[in-house]
Amino acid sequence: MSERFTKDMTFHQAMQTSQQVVGVLRKYNLGCVGCMGAMNETLEQGAMAHGLDINDLLRDLNAIEEE
């Protein structure tokens, strides 16, 4: 099974795939919903900027069930 979320996708792209993405981002204290950077910042860039492990974030995002 291929991963639905990758480190190179933007936060905006990720949030458009599922309503559950916002909950995962909140778990990591990422307030991406109202952030202008969400349009261009990749998941990897955001994780690094916030001192998060991108692999943990991707694991939780990819655990979201398809809607």
| Segment 1-22, tens digit of pLDDT | 457 999 999 999 999 999 999 9
Is residue 4 situated within a structural domain? Answer: no
Q: What is the pLDDT of residue 31?
A: 78
**Angle made by CA atoms 64, 11, 58, in degrees to the nearest 5:** 40
Q: Which residues contact 48 (CB under 8 A, 6 or more apart)?
A: 54
Assign residue 18 the CATH number of its domain. Answer: 1.10.3910.10
**Inside any domain, residue 5:** no
List the domain range (segments joined by +) for residue 36.
11-62
Domain count, the chain: 1
Q: Which two tokens stand for residue 47?
A: 């994780």
Whether residue 1 lies inside any domain: the answer is: no
In a domain, 6, yes or no: no
Answer whether 0.85 is exceeded by the pTM: yes
| pLDDT tens digits, one per residue of 10-64 | 999 999 999 999 999 999 988 776 777 778 899 999 999 999 999 999 999 999 9
